[in-house]
Amino acid sequence: MIDYDSYGPETILQVYDARTGMRGFTVIDNTTLGPGKGGIRLAPNVTLEEVSRLARAMTWKNALAGIPFGGAKSGIIADPNKIDKTSFVRIFARLAKPMIPGKYVAGPDMNTTEKEMDAIAEEIGTPKAATGKSLEKGGLPHELGSTGFGVAKSTLTALELMKIKPENASVAIEGFGNVGTFTAQFLVEAGAKVVAVSDSKGTIYDEKGLKIEKLEEIKKEKGTVTAYASQTSRVLPSSNLFTLPTTVLIPGARPDVITDANKNEVKAKLIVEAANIPISPSIENELWKKKIFIVPDFVANAGGVISSYVEFVGGTKEEMFKLVEEKVVDNTRLVLEKAIETDNNPRKIALELAARIISEKYESKN
């Protein structure tokens, strides 16, 4: 069931290729600020409803980041291990071509990379069809770590407001792909201790701290973080990550991971949402009332779309990192300070700020 309101969604495009069985959809939520921007999620269980929720998150994210993009998202229903991803994404782009890039600008997301973004730009015939392209194609690929860099900066800003020094903070991170890896790297560089990381196979937990470079090597060689071993490490189920006694919890993979089933077991003092919609608004509110600080997804993980904007206008890697730090730090501080001042949960504050930006732009155009 897709919810419609005064912001959108404006357009829902569903496409199907009978020859290959490629089935996909794009939800363009709101284009008041510019063309809808959002990645292409490729998974066997991705749904139109999930993509619609993610498109709305992109509407808020782009507005709060102060960049001229609207909100959108795409999904392709397929098992990435059983198809030629590039071929499927090309077909999707061909069928969605009337929308690209005037109404929709693609980007990488779950199971799509710079390789697929290069293919979209080639298929559509313009580099502006997609961001997150390879450096060779004039892109700023997400493999540079823009989202993880922003999540780390958001985390450090929140810890500063909580008067917790990075060296006194323990961190648990869900997911060890592009976002989780760079988040861990940047937090460890700042002095924090990453004690737990999970993937689909389980959680590796070491309260003395994980060696991130070693963990990256193990993940690359063995395909899972659970192959990591030290004298003090333990392998736990993936779901245990969310209830470990850490200072910081960073959900960084799938939606709806903190639910009614585990919300009362959360022990972290700070939750920084690297993934989109990892917690429902009602449960976020309950956690906030328990004095658990929360940085909402579209505040914390805006680094990727800020990078996309810099690429879209032809900026450099250095300009990208500077802008990501500036915007993510400022917005994290603004939202949390207002939340503390008014005793309203941070999502409510962030949504009000983003909605005001869109409303003011809409009124100025009409």
Query: Which residues are bridge partners to 285 per DSSP?
Result: none
Q: How many residues does the chain have?
A: 366
8 A C-beta contact, residue 117 and residue 106:
yes
φ, ψ (nearest 5 deg) of residue 270: -140, 130
**The two domains 11-59+72-139 and 146-355 share their CATH topology (first three levels equal):** yes
Helices (H), 162-262: 178-189, 212-222
Contact 131, 276 (CB under 8 A): no
pLDDT for the residue 141: 87
- Which residue in 61, 73, 133, 348 is the catalytic one? 73
CA proximity to 89, closest of 58, 60, 111, 59: 111
97 Ramachandran zone, left/alpha/beta (phi>0; psi -120 to 50)? alpha
**Could you say which residues of the chain have pLDDT below 50?**
none
* Rounded distance between C-alpha atoms, residue 123 and residue 282, angstroms: 42
pLDDT of the residue at 254: 85
**Residue-range domain boundaries for the chain:** 11-59+72-139, 146-355
Which class is 11-59+72-139 in CATH?
alpha beta
Q: What is the pLDDT of residue 174?
A: 98
Q: Number of C-alpha atoms within 13 angstroms, CB side, residue 258?
A: 32
Note if the pTM is more than 0.75. yes
DSSP-based three-state secondary structure for 2: coil
Give the relative orientation of helices 178-189 and 212-222 as an angle to the nearest 10 degrees: 160
The topology (CATH level 3) of 146-355 is Rossmann fold (3.40.50)
pLDDT at position 255, please?
84
Residue 47 in tokens: 């749904």
Q: Which residues, 6+ apart, have CB-to-CB distance to 190 below 8 Å?
A: 152, 156, 166
Which tokens belong to 278?
Answer: 């990892």
73 is catalytic: yes
The DSSP letter of residue 170 is E
Longest dimension (CA), the chain: 65
Segment 158-217, tens digit of pLDDT = 999 999 999 999 999 999 988 999 999 999 999 999 999 999 999 999 999 999 999 999
Instruction: Render pLDDT for 262-293 as a digit per residue (tens, 0 to 9).
Output: 999 999 999 999 998 899 999 999 999 999 99
If we measure between CA atoms, which residue out of 44, 10, 9, 4 comes closest to residue 24? 44
Q: Find out whether 71 and 61 touch, Cβ atoms under 8 Å.
A: yes
